[in-house]
Amino acid sequence: MSIDIFLNLTVRGLTTGAIYALVGMGIVLILQTTNVMNFAQGDTGMFITYLAFFMITTAKVPYSLVLILAIAAGAVVGLLVERFMMRSVRSRSHLSLIMLTLGLSLLFQGLAAFLFNTEPRLFPPLVSGDPIKIGPVILGRQDIVVLLAAIVTFGILYLFLYRTKQGAAARSISQDEYAARVLGIPTPSIYMLIWAIGSAMAGLAALLIVPRFSLEPSFMGLVQVKAFTAIVLGGMGSVFGAAVGGLIIGVVENLVAYQFPAIKDSFMLIVIVIVLLVLPQGLFGKGQQRRL
């Protein structure tokens, strides 16, 4: 592998990894604060992408506005999910909560297929035009947008968690939910807020990645699997870990696919088994407590 190819693969891997990071950060945020492992994260994004697609093609809404509307729609979906599903079953077992999110994911897939049919569609990229050459690296414009969006999202999330009182409250809940309630933190509204943010991130991530695939009800499935792998690699516990894990998975996946195409598809499985065997806490985990 020449150095140029290596660089190109790495940078392109970073852009894919940025998507895994976005999905993974949303999952960790929800998991750590509300104790729900959301297996509907990918399909929430998928469903929102369908809504966005029809805003663009049928309602002819301008793209930039669609992006904002889609993120808002994600937030609304998250609010509704928390308010009408998760709230009443919060004290149930992890297993019940996981099953609930699986039901939700199936519901989104069914709705997408039923309302919009399963025929794959081409989703236009946010920006088009010739790829840009930076030194030896050739990068599509959409890829640059993806990278920037991931960086900005990470920044906003960081500021939210460490500079706002709602963010501090979310972190406190992840450490000791009982104490948070004793102190008078309005935990229900924090849960709603976190579901809104997490689901909005799902919408954003799906919208950014969909031009790579085609829009169909299953397109986020594999992305979600990789996001979960990233979370395990990052240590399950921290948003930061999920971000780094996502980037690493993106890059390594690209390099492996080039160098060892035979193990390309079982790569995720191998990563998970190895991480669980030799590094069960992940790269940044502090044990199994809920920590943001």
| Residues binding another protein (CB under 8 A) | 31, 37, 39, 85, 88-89, 92-96, 98-100, 102-111, 113-114, 117-118, 165, 168-169, 171-172, 175-176, 178-186, 188, 218, 221-222, 225, 228-229, 231-232, 236, 262, 264-269, 272-273, 276-277, 280, 288, 291
- Give the distance, in angstroms, between the CA of residue 75 and the centroid of all CA atoms in the same chain: 14
Alpha helices in 121-220 (DSSP H): 141-163, 165-175, 177-182, 187-209
Backbone angles phi, psi at 177, to 5 degrees: -65, -40
Structure tokens belonging to residue 98: 């996981």
Q: Quote the least distance from Cβ 194 to another protein, whole Å.
A: 15
Q: Residue 1 has what DSSP assignment?
A: -
Alpha carbon distance 64, 53 (integer Å): 13
Q: Quote the least distance from Cβ 189 to another protein, whole Å.
A: 9
Q: Quote the least distance from Cβ 271 to another protein, whole Å.
A: 8
Nearer to another protein, 71 or 220 (CB): 220
**Around Cβ 239, how many Cβ atoms within 10 Å?**
24
Spatial contact of 209 and 30, defined as CB atoms under 8 Å apart: no
Q: Which residue spans within the chain are E strands per DSSP?
A: 132-134, 137-139
Structure tokens belonging to residue 52: 């966005």
Nearer to another protein, 149 or 215 (CB): 215
Q: Quote the least distance from Cβ 253 to another protein, whole Å.
A: 12
Spatial contact of 173 and 189, defined as CB atoms under 8 Å apart: no
Nearer to another protein, 134 or 222 (CB): 222
Nearer to another protein, 96 or 214 (CB): 96
- Give the distance, in angstroms, between the CA of residue 79 and the centroid of all CA atoms in the same chain: 17
Q: Quote the least distance from Cβ 120 to another protein, whole Å.
A: 15
Q: Quote the least distance from Cβ 217 to another protein, whole Å.
A: 8
Nearer to another protein, 67 or 252 (CB): 252
Instruction: Calculate helix-pair angle for 41-57, 63-81, nearest 10 degrees.
Output: 140
| Closest alpha carbon to 90 in 41, 34, 40 | 34
**Angle at the Cα of 186 (from 180 to 190), degrees rounded to 5?**
90
Spatial contact of 111 and 240, defined as CB atoms under 8 Å apart: no
Q: Quote the least distance from Cβ 91 to another protein, whole Å.
A: 11
Q: Quote the least distance from Cβ 107 to another protein, whole Å.
A: 3
Nearer to another protein, 185 or 205 (CB): 185
Provide CB contacts within 8 A for 72, sequence distance 6+.
200
